[in-house]
Amino acid sequence: MIRSGTVDIAFWMFSAGSVVAAWLVFRTDSMVRAAYWLLASFAGVGALMVLLNARFLGLVLVLMMAGEMTIMAVFMVMFMMNPAGLNPMTMVHQHRTAKIAGVFAFAGLALVGLVADFPDRPADARRDPTSDLGRELLGDSMLVFETAGVTLLATMIGAIAIASKRGRYGDAEQGSAPPALEEKPPEPAGMEH
Amino acid sequence: MRWSSPLGAVVLVAGVLSAGAYVVAVLDVALGRLTAAGHLRLRHALRQPLDETALLLLTRPSRTERPDAQAWALAPALLGAMAAAAVATVPLGRGIAVADVADGIVLFGAAMAMVMVAVYLHGWSANSPMPLLGGYRFIALALSYEMPLALVLIAAALPAESLSVGAIVASQHDLWNVVRQPLGLPLYLIAGAGLAFWGPLDTADGPDLAGGTTAEVSGPSRVAWELARRFVLVAVAVMGAAVFLGGWQGPMLPGPAWMALKTLVLLAGLVWMAHRVARVRLERFVVVAWTVLIPLALVDVFVSGAIAL
Amino acid sequence: MGLRRALARLAAAAEAPVFPVIGAGGRSVAGEIALLGGVRVVDSPRAANVLLVVGGITPGLLAPLLQVHDQLPTPRATVWWPGEPVEHQDLRTVLGEVVVARPGDGDTLRGVFAELVGGGRLSDPPALPDDEPAEWRGVGPYGQGGTGMTGGVPYGRPLAKRSPDPDGLELDQLPLRIGPMFPPLPPGLILDIALQGDVIREVAVGDNPFLGHPDGPAPAGLDTALFLEAARRPQPVATIELARARHHLRWAAGTLRLHGLASESLRVLRLARALRPEHALEVETLARRLRGRRSLSWATRGVGVVTPAQVGFGPVARAAGVAVDARLDDPAYDGIGFSPVVNDGGDARARLRQRLAEAAQALDLANRAGARVRQPGPALEGPRGPLSAGEALPSAALVDLLPRLLVGQEWGDAMTTVASLDLDLEEAAAGARAGAPA
């Protein structure tokens, strides 16, 4: 077993690392770096969860976030008019709103931290959290998770239907385009003149 | 030596990865020459990778115009580290494992998901169009095979009733998963080739992109990137041998020898595939991945689950 | 120091990584480079230590050549196979240290590489100053070049514009110029492309670098030189057909390399180099084997469809099901059982099958023609289409086709399409000089 002193040091290292990485998200001048600093922050949180014996959840967090942050980076780059996202750009805007929202969020969370009565029930170290999690997902919490799961699945299917080759505006390979606002004589789709 | 001690871990993981990468390079040269000229010069195949590495180490790394230099240097390190993390979870013999943790297969999945980050970062940070396109392509490909990869690994974990790689190996004592779940290994190898952008799935650095993610690197940076990529391939083969081919179990020979043999078979298969199969057309592969590979992987999970019950 | 010497000893035994640049008249020897012993052709200048310039450098090729030269990492060396006669710019006046060698001379190339690695030869100095191409003109706290998040002209480069993509999203467009030395494209082809992700939205063909030269390219340096010669002088049918088979095989080798079958490609090049009429069976087997290669069909099926209305000549039209062939009207081919091979589909797969089948057929014809000699007069069917005096050569029409074919394709498909058309920019330039298209 790893000594508890090591765990403590690791806990503080990962906690501090997560906070610093999260701060760097806003201090960097590049979209891709911002996305990956956020990933680093999440990976730190994942490591904390592993240290807290929620190994499965911690690893799954890293697994999911790796894909999601990459997708986020690609979409940011493609939506911004910044070739390849390598030209510098600021990651902070709407300063006043951001400051107010930041202060309120911090105050709220701090309040919860100070006031809330956190449960203090040491769990049996021999119990396997992963199998406990599985039993929970397919037991008492089944309705909640299945509802969320089916909703997400329906959303995904909807998104795929919209983005598919035979999308809203006809076959993508034929160069589909949204219909024009004015009435125009119908043109065969995809013909190039 | 205790393999879970820091020194033991470094020796074991680095040893497996370097030996594997060298074997991949030798097989690559040998099979290439066999295809091209119809004969084989073993001495040449054994020396060629070393000579080439020496040349690259003597060559200066190149600079592009205003790259993200830190990210560019980080990417190969991240890729290699993820391969190392993946190998660490696999027992290479009875009791020879760095970290046969209870959620080993999930750790492997998380490490392989981070591969996507490393490859995109490497493509993007060079500030050059061809590597960037390579990065984009890798994401399109990765999102398509991550699902089948995760599903076949879950299916392999079902008979073991555990997410630990050691338990999965033990569960194949009587019957290897490659027989029990015939869909598993082929799907896993397709995804594995994609992870290392290897063979027919090398869309991220194919010749149609003039090298893609490798187009702008030279000298030692090239060595680092190519090595890291081969490390991933080795990690895939090691995990494949453990999860589908019964791991270190086998008659007569000691465990590590069986493990080496099985890994070698998978690596040879992957290298052979690279010389034999033309690079996939990205668009078609994505369609096939979503409409054929994922349903097949689901069938694999359902059937394995039903049998395990 | 000891480590360095040990590394140098190992490195000297490595295959010399060579980045070939094909200039005017260079294509006829280009197929030999990959087969040189101890030499490896690489896809990117960053992976090479030796820059091999083949043929003459026209003014249009000079500036890109200097850029490519400076992209090679040090230690680097330049070897020039000028061809005969040296009628273009002398490379030695622009690049300091150039080793001139006879075309096809691999020993000199290896020697230069060994010297370079052993330390007996200094690395080439850069040909261009290492400056920023545009001055930094950004303003704002992050140098973003404007007052908002983006905007302005950072590094002198305009920001990408946005435009709708096929799914109706507004996404950024990356403007990009590739060529004339981009390995997947034929030498000399320049494309100005606007990309969304890896989908091509706009294409314009850049100026043909072979066109600007006062003398124009010498037809003697074209890879179809033998055919042009045969259009003017009597030539044995067997010679013509053997050259046709060799041409198609070399093209097939390039296609295989593009599709990731590099070792297979070397094998085909080897066959092409030593090709004789007796190899008919081997070529037949090769054609059948590649036809049966599922992955290759998969990568080329439905890509770059050319209709007979777009191109009405040569293998491209025959791959679309039209039985046009100048050999049908050529008395030299009467009575040896010639009838054109056709394929249908008109896509890259059909063109691959078409050219392989034509290579096999050509060897068959070469065997049957015996000592028969073709007399000049009627149009001669070259490997890309009919060649007749005073008319545009086939490549010119094929190059014009590119923008319409490539728009909307993914990058890989676009490269497959360009390769499948078997373009020669030099031939296009020569054709443009020879006369207006009919």
The domains of chain A are located at 1-86, 129-175
Q: Are residues C241 and C187 in the same domain?
A: no
Per residue in B108-153, pLDDT (tens digit) is: 999 999 999 999 999 988 888 899 889 989 998 998 898 999 999 9
- Please tell me whether residue C80 adopts helix, strand or coil conformation: strand
The predicted pLDDT at position C138 comes to 52
Using pLDDT thresholds of 50, 70 and 90, give the confidence band for residue A188: very low
Q: Are residues C199 and C225 in the same domain?
A: no
Task: Go through C59-86 and write b for each residue having 16 or more CB atoms within 10 A of its CB, e for each that does not.
Answer: ebbbebbbebbbbbbbbbbbbbbbbeee
* Residue B143: its H or E element: helix B129-160
CA–CA gap between residue C212 and residue C226 (Å, rounded): 24
Q: Are C357 and C340 in contact (CB under 8 A)?
A: no
| Torsional sign, CA A78, A84, A89, A92 | positive
Q: Are B138 and B213 in contact (CB under 8 A)?
A: yes
Q: Which residues contact C255 (CB under 8 A, 6 or more apart)?
A: C352, C419, C420
Number of domains observed in the structure of chain C: 3
Chains interfacing with C (3 or more CB pairs < 8 Å): A, B
Residue A186 pLDDT > 50, yes or no? no
Per residue in B282-308, pLDDT (tens digit) is: 888 988 998 899 999 999 999 998 988
Using pLDDT thresholds of 50, 70 and 90, give the confidence band for residue A187: very low
The predicted pLDDT at position C153 comes to 54
Using pLDDT thresholds of 50, 70 and 90, give the confidence band for residue C147: very low
Under DSSP, the state recorded for C193 is E
List chain A residues with CB under 8 Å of B143: 67, 71
Tell me the whole-structure pTM to 2 decimals: 0.90
Tokens of A13: 């290292």
- Please tell me whether residue C18 adopts helix, strand or coil conformation: strand
List chain B residues with CB under 8 Å of A66: 110, 113-114, 116-117
Under DSSP, the state recorded for A178 is P
The predicted pLDDT at position C110 comes to 93
What would the DSSP string read from start to end of B61-95? PP--SS--HHHHHHHHHHHHHHHHHHHHTS--BTT
Complex prediction ipTM = 0.90
Strands of the sheet with C199-205, listed across from one edge? C174-178, C191-196, C199-205
The predicted pLDDT at position A174 comes to 59
The residue assigned the tokens 């594995």 is: B192
Q: Are A89 and C150 in contact (CB under 8 A)?
A: yes
Q: Is residue C154 a part of any domain in this protein? A: no
The predicted pLDDT at position A137 comes to 86
The bridge status of strand C16-22 relative to strand C50-54 is: parallel
Closest-CA residue of chain A to C302 = A173
CA–CA gap between residue B246 and residue C146 (Å, rounded): 61
What would the DSSP string read from start to end of C300-360? HTTSS---TTT--SHHHHHTTT----GGGG-GGGTTTT------SS-SHHHHHHHHHHHHH
Q: What is the mean pLDDT of residues A100-122?
A: 90
Domain boundary (C52, C85, C118) is at C118
Q: What is the mean pLDDT of residues C109-136?
A: 83
Q: Which residues contact A79 (CB under 8 A, 6 or more apart)?
A: C170, C171, C172
Average per-residue pLDDT in chain A? 81
Per residue in B27-72, pLDDT (tens digit) is: 999 999 898 888 888 888 899 999 999 999 999 998 887 788 888 9
Residue C166 pLDDT > 80, yes or no? no
Quick check: B102 and A74 CB within 8 A?
Answer: no
The predicted pLDDT at position A164 comes to 66
Closest residue to B54, CB basis, from C11, C182, C296: C11
CA distance C295 to chain B (A): 5
Q: Are residues C234 and C176 in the same domain?
A: no
Q: Are residues C179 and C65 in the same domain?
A: no
Domain boundary (C205, C235, C267) is at C205
Using pLDDT thresholds of 50, 70 and 90, give the confidence band for residue C266: very high
Using pLDDT thresholds of 50, 70 and 90, give the confidence band for residue A154: very high
Q: Which residues contact C364 (CB under 8 A, 6 or more apart)?
A: C280
Closest residue to A192, CB basis, from C138, C142, C404: C404
Under DSSP, the state recorded for C235 is E
CA distance A99 to chain C (A): 18
More confident of the two residues B271 and A26 = B271
Q: Are residues C187 and C235 in the same domain?
A: no
Q: Are residues C239 and C188 in the same domain?
A: no
CA–CA gap between residue C301 and residue C353 (Å, rounded): 11
Residue C376, class by beta-carbon neighbours within 10 Å (0-12 exposed, 13-18 middle, 19+ buried)?
A: middle
Tokens of C239: 């010679």
Average per-residue pLDDT in chain B? 90
Residue C437 pLDDT > 50, yes or no? no
The predicted pLDDT at position C391 comes to 67
CA–CA gap between residue C41 and residue C35 (Å, rounded): 9
Closest residue to B282, CB basis, from C13, C133, C410: C410
Q: Which residues contact B299 (CB under 8 A, 6 or more apart)?
A: B183
The predicted pLDDT at position C88 comes to 61
The predicted pLDDT at position C27 comes to 83
The predicted pLDDT at position C86 comes to 52
- Into which CATH architecture does domain A1-86 fall? Up-down Bundle (1.20)
Residue B198 pLDDT > 60, yes or no? yes
The predicted pLDDT at position C436 comes to 39
Residue C143 pLDDT > 60, yes or no? no
CA–CA gap between residue B125 and residue B129 (Å, rounded): 10
Using pLDDT thresholds of 50, 70 and 90, give the confidence band for residue C213: low
Alpha-helical segments (H) within C370-420: 394-406, 411-420
Short-list B299, B205, B228, B197, CA closest to B84: B228
Tokens of C297: 């069909």
CA distance C134 to chain A (A): 13
Q: Are residues C188 and C227 in the same domain?
A: no
Q: What is the mean pLDDT of residues C108-129?
A: 88
Q: Which residues of C touch A (CB under 8 A)?
A: 138, 140-145, 148-150, 154-155, 157, 159-162, 164, 166-168, 170-172, 174-175, 196-197, 404, 407-408
Q: Are residues C101 and C226 in the same domain?
A: no
Which structural domain, as residue segments, surrounds residue C199?
166-205
